[in-house]
Structure 1
Amino acid sequence: MSGPGTSLPYTDTKPVGAADFYFAINATFQFVQRRLGMEGLRRYWTELGSQYYAPVSRLWKEGGMAAIATYWRDFFKAEPGSTVEVHELPDEVRLEVRVCPVIKHLRDNGRTILPCLCQHCYFVSEAMATPAAYTVRISGGNGSCTQRFLKREAVAGPQKLEDITEVT
């Protein structure tokens, strides 16, 4: 359940969110990309991560890896249709996304999916992680991926966007 007593930045009395929200985010991302191009879309995702998710960034800064793991457990518990394992390891928090709820719902409903949709996880999460001195590295995509949250100083070089598979 989201809301009071969880690490999520919003209040919701339902134990699981409404999957139709995924239609809205896919359409919004498509609109932003058509209007502002790829750089504009990436800027939108970064601003979403740094502004809307600022309370989460503060929790991560204060609570470290444990707070990151708690957030993602709370997040995916509220996401309908997801199959995700959150591993809290000594030097990273690793998300093993076996079934991405967004892509599953869009596919199940015959929607055209923005090919770069999986990149939003990187840009939003990186913007969330940066103020807390963490970073994220993502590999895979197209419905399943691995996301690794690491201390920023432990990582050399930026995320390679080609490691994030486009949705087909």
Structure 2
Amino acid sequence: MSEAAPAPTSLPYTDTKPAGHADFYFATNATFRFILRHRGEQALRSYWRDIGGSYYRPVSQQWAEQGLPGVADYWRAFFKAEPGADVEIRESDAEVRLEVRRCPAIHHLREHAREIVPQFCQHCYFVNEAIAAPAGMTVRVCGGSGTCTQRFMKRTAETEAQSLEDIATAS
């Protein structure tokens, strides 16, 4: 008896489960804390960039091929699999905007009384910027600590740099 091929997805990597397991957020937070304590903030940012540039390379390639519609499709599929997410995805010719009303990671960590790495929300910028840049795009993050807005757009000379002050300290 042969297994049926998995249904097509907008996620450019194989994941056969219908939803992720929220306990993964514990490991994520602990990894961030370990790197921060033992290597410092610059090493943590480098780690995030490396994840975006290597592990998520298939996502970057998809975005380069499909443009902003590919960005929107990816995030719809991604958040559909994230337990506890409440995210609205709006798409226009100029940008894809994620309105994160309930971050599944922050929510789960709080729900289980975990101490959250203060820089936790910055990973959304550093990882996503590393994914977006090779596709000719950029991301801007505003808010954090459970709710934020993430805007994905084509990179231009006029695009202002991300201010890390716009990303809230997680608690």
Q: Taking structure 1 as the reference length, what is the TM-score of the superposition? A: 0.95
Question: In structure 1, what is the equivalent of residue 28 of structure 2?
Answer: 25
- Is 1:113 aligned to residue 127 of structure 2? no
Match of 2:100 among 97, 101, 113: 97
SS of 2:21's equivalent in the other structure is coil
Q: Which amino acid aligns with 2:90?
A: H
Question: In structure 2, what is the equivalent of residue 145 of structure 1?
Answer: 148
Q: Which amino acid aligns with 1:130?
A: A
Q: Which runs of 5+ in 2 are unaligned?
A: 1-5
Q: Distance in 1 between matches of 2:136 and 2:61?
A: 11
- Is 1:128 aligned to residue 126 of structure 2? no
- Structure holding more helix per residue: 1
**How many Å apart are 1:4 and its aligned residue?**
5.1
**How many Å apart are 1:157 and its aligned residue?**
2.6
**How many Å apart are 1:147 and its aligned residue?**
0.2
Q: Which is further off, 149-158 or 133-142?
A: 149-158
Q: Is the 8 A contact 2:13 2:58 kept in 1?
A: no
Q: Is the 8 A contact 1:4 1:11 kept in 2?
A: no
Q: Is the 8 A contact 1:7 1:56 kept in 2?
A: no
- Is 1:11 aligned to residue 17 of structure 2? no
Counterparts of 1:21-100 in structure 2, within 5 Å, are: 21-100=24-103
Percent identical: 59
Name segments (4+ residues, structure 1) moved above 4 Å. none
**How many Å apart are 1:15 and its aligned residue?**
1.0
Q: Which amino acid aligns with 2:80?
A: K
SS of 1:165's equivalent in the other structure is coil
**How many Å apart are 1:156 and its aligned residue?**
2.6
**How many Å apart are 1:74 and its aligned residue?**
0.5
Q: Distance in 1 between matches of 2:158 and 2:110?
A: 34
Q: Which amino acid aligns with 1:26?
A: N
Q: Taking structure 2 as the reference length, what is the TM-score of the superposition? A: 0.94
Structure 1 residues 97 and 14, CA, compared in 2 at 3 Å: closer, same or farther?
same
Cα RMSD of the aligned pairs, angstroms, is 1.2
Q: Which amino acid aligns with 2:128?
A: S
C-alpha offsets along residues 92-112 of structure 1, whole Å, 9 cap, x if unaligned?
Answer: 000000000000000000101
Larger radius of gyration between Structure 1 and Structure 2: 2
Question: In structure 1, what is the equivalent of residue 169 of structure 2?
Answer: 166
